[in-house]
Structure 1
Amino acid sequence: MRSSWLLASICLISASFTDLLFAAACDLPAHETATVSSIQDGETLKLTDGRVVRLIGAKAPAPPLGWRGDDPWPLVADARAALSRLASGAEIELRFGGRRTDRHGQLLAQVFVVRDGARLWLQEELVAKGLARVYSLADNTACVHELLASEAEARDRRLGVWGSWAYRIQSADDLKRLDRLMHTYQLVEGKVVAGGQGAGRIYLNFAEDWRRDFTVSIERKNADAFAAAGIDLKGLAGKTIRARGWLQWRNGPMIEATHPKQIELLPDTSGKAAL
């Protein structure tokens, strides 16, 4: 009897400890439970009640817009298959840490699969396996710090996307490649040459010729948020940084940084992209 009681106590403590670990990893209250009916892609779930959930914080592999290659784009099918194995038909908890829907009405949630009392954080699992990159919105950055740590470990181990040419971190100096990647989600790193201001914006320029170089653009009204996060936008000249976001064209390739999680200060080495 005593051994049975001891075993039950250990199991209870273990389960409680597991829940605490997940709570510490993404400390958001569970808002509601739902059931997954199908997987749409590597970051999107459809629920049995018809709603669609995007895994906010985790950007699944995807081909460039309009890509018409003969072979499948690397890791797109792998990410979808992994999400299907983890979540197809599963009971899930939806946890919200910011804006709850996108412009299409899809839910933006941190998602936990619940099985036998244990919880598996889907975003962290995919990022840790290199099957997603970290992605956040200005009004939805909950748990991004934890996801960035998992991404860094996956990148060091060259797992998934980090071992593929299609998703490597781009060099701010490689303008030809950046031009070919317009309208895709990228991580770009290099050394800031100079900063500038104009039309309510702060610009981080990565070459002397700001008319065609890679640039990071930030609305001046958001500067205080960057300062609060320890990023002095006016003091970044000569610093090596990594910016993440959607590439667009404005006097050369540009990423618009709407919030501090899009910029990482790096050790001042050569400024070349890490593969």
Structure 2
Amino acid sequence: MFKSTLAGAAMFAAVSSIAMGALGCDTLQPGPTGVVMQVTDGDTVVLQSGLVVRLVGTQAPKLPLGRDNFETWPKAEAARAALEQLALNKPVRLAYGGQSIDRYQRALAQMFVTAGDDEIWVQQAMVAQGLARVYSFPDNRQCLDELYRAEGQARAAGLGIWADPYYSLRAAERPGEILARVGHYELVEGRVLVADEASGRVYLNFGRSWKDDFTAVIDASALKLFAEAKRDPLLLEGALVRIRGWVDDRDGPRIAVTHPEQIEVLATR
């Protein structure tokens, strides 16, 4: 399916920026309007109509919200308070950029607070404060370029969650530390040692021992999205990348990559 060359990583990086730019907010579909009556946590609100809105494209620190044995993530209360200040009791409009309803019947929407003649894009505001991370899905990938820029600036400034080791960037060359984060959503940086295709999957290996070192795995359904975006993951061999996703443990720590925007190319050599 794909052909890998080291020089091609530069092309991957260039196409990545183009693809992310194409997934901006200019083609969102209009959704309902309303007033925010409740802020559940840093990425969920309830409108006056009773509609529960999940602020798609972001992940704020999580609260237990009635779940047994669930540990409150650092900065979770600060994130909820910040979202209350932004949106509680204020008129908002929703806009959709992909799947609009999840299995819990929550609206998956970008949310904009009306402020006189202006609007505040809530997701961008939360990410810019360092109180949410970029968190995308295969069926919801719009507006990510703007959110990545806001996240990068907040991280560089050490704002919010980025001042807490719980959310630190993980080094791919330290698989033991990543393994300790199984079940967590993590950002992992490192240089791809080998990019290889086998049994319909692409494996990005960050060490010589595939049973112990960190690996990113791209399955067949995700590869279709890479092909549509004209992004060949095999070209990432030798590139310095940042990969985000949920860590599991299958022959060492892994992240399953379900769509291209989970991979940021930081350098091609």
Structure 1 length-normalised TM = 0.82
* Counterpart amino acid of residue 129 in structure 2: K
Aligned residue in 2 for 1:265:
265
Aligned residue in 1 for 2:25:
26
Aligned residue in 2 for 1:80:
80
Deviation digits for residues 65-96 of structure 1, max 9, x if unmatched? 98777xx6421111000001111111110000
Structure 1 residues 33 and 147: alpha-carbon distance in aligned structure 2, compared to 1, 3 A threshold = same
Aligned residue in 1 for 2:190:
190
Query: Secondary structure of the residue that 1:89 maps to in structure 2?
Result: coil
Fraction of identical pairs, as percent: 41
| 1:221 shift after superposition | 4.2
Deviation digits for residues 204-231 of structure 1, max 9, x if unmatched? 1111110121111111343353255464
Whether the 8 Å contact between 1:38 and 1:88 is mirrored in structure 2 is yes
Q: How far, CA to CA, are the matches of 1:156 and 1:255 in structure 2? A: 24
Whether the 8 Å contact between 2:191 and 2:241 is mirrored in structure 1 is yes
Deviation digits for residues 139-171 of structure 1, max 9, x if unmatched? 111101111111111112111112211111111
Aligned residue in 1 for 2:18:
none
Whether the 8 Å contact between 1:227 and 1:233 is mirrored in structure 2 is no
In structure 1, the gaps of 5 or more residues are 1-24, 270-275
Q: How far, CA to CA, are the matches of 2:185 and 2:62 in structure 1? A: 9
Between the two proteins, the alignment pairs up a number of residues equal to: 243
Structure 1 residues 32 and 129: alpha-carbon distance in aligned structure 2, compared to 1, 3 A threshold = same
In structure 2, the gaps of 5 or more residues are 1-23
Deviation digits for residues 168-224 of structure 1, max 9, x if unmatched? 111112222212211111110111111233332111111111012111111134335
Structure 2 length-normalised TM = 0.83
Q: How far, CA to CA, are the matches of 2:70 and 2:167 in structure 1? A: 18
Give the RMSD, CA atoms, in angstroms.
2.2
* Counterpart amino acid of residue 47 in structure 1: L
Query: Secondary structure of the residue that 1:213 maps to in structure 2?
Result: coil
2:217 counterpart of 1:213? no
Q: How far, CA to CA, are the matches of 1:38 and 1:114 in structure 2? A: 17
Q: How far, CA to CA, are the matches of 1:261 and 1:268 in structure 2? A: 17
Query: Secondary structure of the residue that 1:30 maps to in structure 2?
Result: strand
